[in-house]
């Protein structure tokens, strides 16, 4: 609600400034005019941009104090002008569309995987995109780096763009907001700045934790926030921590940020990570065997951006080494890691191989060298070498007391056969998947992943 102030109050304010700050007072102050009072902010109109620049730089405090004395409560004063932008000057950054964030096409709701870690943030974002200004206002999404905050808020942008292309949507980082603000102050263009920001239908500010140490832009943000909020414009904010944890954020902003819905994005559980990997692989047209999905999901647990980095590396190595085909070996090399060794036991390998090749356990562990026995035994040695952390000697010992050179020979043989015989390669991939799957099934059934 904007209210006018009386002529005599305005006169008192000017007099107060002249008496208490004679050095600051200027003759042209008589041509300043009070525009109105709105939520503790008195807007004062000046004639030129230069005057606004001077008032902002030098006189904010003097006028604030004078207004407080004349009106009797805490008032801050902002200066603006209706003068057209000055000729010959570079346009202000906040007037250029390219100074706002561009949307990444893939950051849509349809590519966002939900799990227990982000369900609330996702649902709230969807609701906000559907019912701007009324579902949850403001929506504040927080969480550690790389967990999908930017993805979610861009998904809101995409959705709104599509549904209501004419809306005035502003999406930027808080860094940009501050830079625009300081530029406006410097160029005496606060009026345009405020006009631009306070006419947003939807204001989305990413990474507001950077408001922390910028006093004057915090103040400005507070007023922008209030203006938009009071006219039911939607505000969406993200940060790497909750409002109360943002260092040196003023209490009044904390309580504003907390006044709508605060939703956290957490670390994704195994199942969610696997689903994210499948989605990202599909978007990048990478065919990704399940055991590689599982390998990545197990290796990288805390940051989805790192998962994407791993996918890129794996894709690159697969191009160089394997005609673009991704398998465990490629993934190993790309990630510079070995499989989660010693999780698979030799016994599990034996059980699986005896079943698949229809041989007896005693044969595999015995001395016979007939091909029908020797071959499955070599497969066992290879799998043990790939999937457990046993040494060559230990593996040799488990299969009829053979020495390490026999194991090396077996692994070499199987590896060669894999490269020569695609069908066999596939078969071994399946055996591996079964083995790796066996040990991970209990984790997949964790209740965390299954709650809807």
Instruction: Tell me the residue number closest to Mg ion, measured at CB.
Output: 150
Whether omega for the bond prior to residue 8 falls within 30 degrees of 0, making it cis, is: no
x-or-dash pattern for ligand ADP, window 18-57, by CB under 6 A?
A: ----------------------------------------
Q: Give the range of 19-27, 142-150, 174-182, 225-233 binding Mg ion by CB under 5 A.
A: 142-150
365 interacts with, out of Mg ion, ligand ADP, none, CB within 5 to 8 A per kind: none
In contact, 36 and 43? CB cutoff 8 Å: yes
- Nearest residue (CB) to ligand ADP, 111 versus 209: 111
State in angstroms the smallest separation of the CB of 309 from ligand ADP: 10
Smallest distance, ligand ADP to C-beta of residue 450, A: 17
Using CA atoms, how far residue 284 sits from 109, 278, 303, 334, in Å, is 17, 10, 19, 17
147 binds, among ligand ADP, Mg ion, none (CB under 5 to 8 A by kind): ligand ADP
| Shortest spacing between CB 22 and ligand ADP, in angstroms | 51
318 near Mg ion, rule: CB under 5 A: no
* 151 lies in the site for ligand ADP, by CB under 6 A: yes
Asked whether position 142 contacts ligand ADP by CB under 6 A, the answer is: no
Nearer to ligand ADP, 59 or 297 (CB): 297
Question: HEC profile for the chain?
Answer: CEECCCHHHHHHHHHHHHHHCCCCCCHHHHHCEEEEEECCEEEEEECCHHHHHHHHHHHHHHHHHHHHHHHCCCCEEEEEECCCCCCCCCCCHHHCHHHCCCCCCCCCHHHCCCCCCCHHHHHHHHHHHHCCCCCCCCEEEECCCCCCHHHHHHHHHHHHHHHCCCCCEEEEEHHHHHHHHHHHHHCCCHHHHHHHHHCCCEEEEECHHHHCCCHHHHHHHHHHHHHHHHCCCEEEEEECCCHHHCCCCCHHHHHHHHCCEEEECCCCCHHHHHHHHHHHHHHCCCCCCHHHHHHHHHHCCCCHHHHHHHHHHHHHHHHHHHCCCCCHHHHHHHHCCCCCCCCCCHHHHHHHHHHHHCCCHHHHHCCCCCHHHHHHHHHHHHHHHHHCCCCHHHHHHHCCCCCHHHHHHHHHHHHHHHHHCHHHHHHHHHHHHHHHHHHHHHHHCCHHHHCC
What's the CA gap between 365 and 382, in Å, rounded?
15
Q: Which is nearer to ligand ADP, 46 or 147 (CB)?
A: 147
300 vs 317, beta carbon nearer ligand ADP = 300
Q: How many residues bind ligand ADP (CB under 6 A)?
A: 18
Q: Decide if residue 112 touches ligand ADP (CB under 6 A).
A: yes
Binder of ligand ADP out of 19, 89, 145, 284 (CB under 6 A)? 145
Q: Considering only the stretches 28-36, 80-88, 300-308, 408-416, report the one whose residues sit in contact with ligand ADP under the rule CB under 6 A.
A: 300-308
Stretch that binds Mg ion, among 120-128, 145-153, 195-203, 259-267 (CB under 5 A): 145-153
Q: How far is the CB of 286 from ligand ADP (least distance, A)?
A: 15
Taking residues 211 to 250 in sequence order and writing x for each that binds Mg ion by CB under 5 A, - otherwise, the string is ----------------------------------------
Q: Is 116 in the site for ligand ADP (CB under 6 A)?
A: no
Tell me how far, at minimum, the Cβ of 166 lies from Mg ion, in Å: 27
Query: What is the C-alpha to C-alpha distance for residues 417 and 405, in angstroms, rounded to an integer?
Result: 18
Which residues, including other chains, have CB under 8 Å from residue 78's CB and lie 6 or more apart? 41, 42, 43, 44, 190, 194, 223
Which residue number, 93 or 303, has a Cβ lying nearer to ligand ADP?
Answer: 303
Q: Closer CB to Mg ion, residue 81 or residue 150? A: 150
Query: Contact with Mg ion (CB under 5 A): which of 78, 114, 150, 318?
Result: 150
- Does 276 bind ligand ADP (CB under 6 A)? Our answer is yes
Question: Which one of 31, 305, 355, 360 is in contact with ligand ADP (CB under 6 A)?
Answer: 305
Alpha carbons within 13 angstroms on the beta-carbon side of residue 173 total 14
Among 17, 41, 42, 113, the residue binding ligand ADP under the rule CB under 6 A is 113
Instruction: Pick one of 5, 129, 147, 170: the residue that binds ligand ADP (CB under 6 A).
Output: 147
If one asks whether residue 125 binds Mg ion (CB under 5 A), the answer comes out as: no
What are the tokens at 403? 């020495």
Among the residue ranges 14-22, 144-152, 217-225, 351-359, the one whose residues contact ligand ADP (CB under 6 A): 144-152
**Residue ranges that bind ligand ADP, judged by CB under 6 A:** 107, 111-113, 118, 143, 145-151, 276, 279, 304-305, 308
Q: By the criterion CB under 5 A, which residues form the site for Mg ion?
A: 149-150
């Amino acid at each position: 609600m904007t209210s006018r102030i009386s002529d005599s109050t305005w006169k008192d304010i000017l007099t107060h400034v002249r008496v208490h700050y004679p050095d600051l007072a200027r003759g042209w102050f008589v041509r300043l005019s009070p525009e109105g009072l709105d939520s503790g902010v008195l807007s004062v109109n000046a004639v030129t941009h230069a005057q606004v620049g001077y008032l902002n730089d030098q006189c904010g405090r003097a006028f604030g104090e004078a207004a407080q004395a004349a009106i009797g409560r805490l008032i801050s004063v902002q200066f603006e002008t209706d003068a057209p932008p000055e000729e010959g000057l570079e346009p202000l950054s906040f007037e250029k569309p390219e100074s706002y964030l561009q949307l990444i096409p893939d950051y849509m709701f349809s590519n966002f995987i939900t799990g227990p870690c982000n369900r609330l943030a996702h649902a709230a974002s969807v609701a906000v995109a559907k019912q701007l200004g009324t579902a949850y206002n403001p929506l504040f999404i927080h969480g550690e780096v790389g967990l999908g905050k930017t993805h979610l808020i861009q998904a809101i942008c995409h959705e709104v763009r599509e549904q209501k292309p004419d809306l005035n949507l502003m999406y930027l980082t808080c860094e940009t907001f501050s830079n625009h603000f300081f530029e406006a102050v410097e160029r005496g263009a606060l009026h345009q700045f405020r006009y631009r920001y306070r006419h947003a239908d939807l204001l989305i500010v990413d990474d507001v934790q950077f408001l922390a140490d910028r006093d004057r832009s915090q103040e400005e943000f507070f007023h922008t926030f209030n203006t938009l909020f009071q006219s039911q414009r939607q505000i969406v904010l993200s940060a790497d921590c909750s409002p109360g944890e943002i260092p040196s954020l003023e209490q009044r902003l904390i309580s504003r940020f907390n006044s709508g819905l605060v939703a956290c994005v957490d670390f994704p559980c195994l199942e969610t990570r696997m689903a994210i990997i499948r989605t990202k692989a599909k978007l990048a047209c990478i065919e990704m065997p399940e055991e590689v999905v599982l390998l990545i999901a197990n290796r990288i647990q805390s940051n989805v951006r790192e998962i994407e980095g791993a996918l890129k590396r794996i894709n690159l190595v697969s191009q160089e080494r394997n005609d673009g085909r991704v398998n465990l070996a490629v993934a190993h090399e790309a990630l510079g890691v070995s499989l989660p060794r010693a999780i698979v036991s030799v016994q599990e390998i034996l059980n699986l191989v005896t079943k698949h090749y229809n041989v007896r356990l005693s044969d595999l562990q015995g001395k016979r060298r007939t091909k029908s026995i020797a071959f499955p035994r070599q497969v066992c040695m290879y799998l043990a070498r790939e999937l457990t952390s046993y040494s060559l000697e230990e593996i040799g010992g488990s299969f009829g007391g053979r020495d390490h050179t026999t194991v090396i020979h077996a692994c070499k043989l199987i590896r060669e056969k894999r490269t020569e015989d695609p069908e066999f390669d596939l078969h071994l991939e399946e055996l591996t998947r079964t083995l790796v799957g066996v040990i991970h099934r209990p984790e997949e059934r964790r209740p965390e992943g299954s709650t809807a």
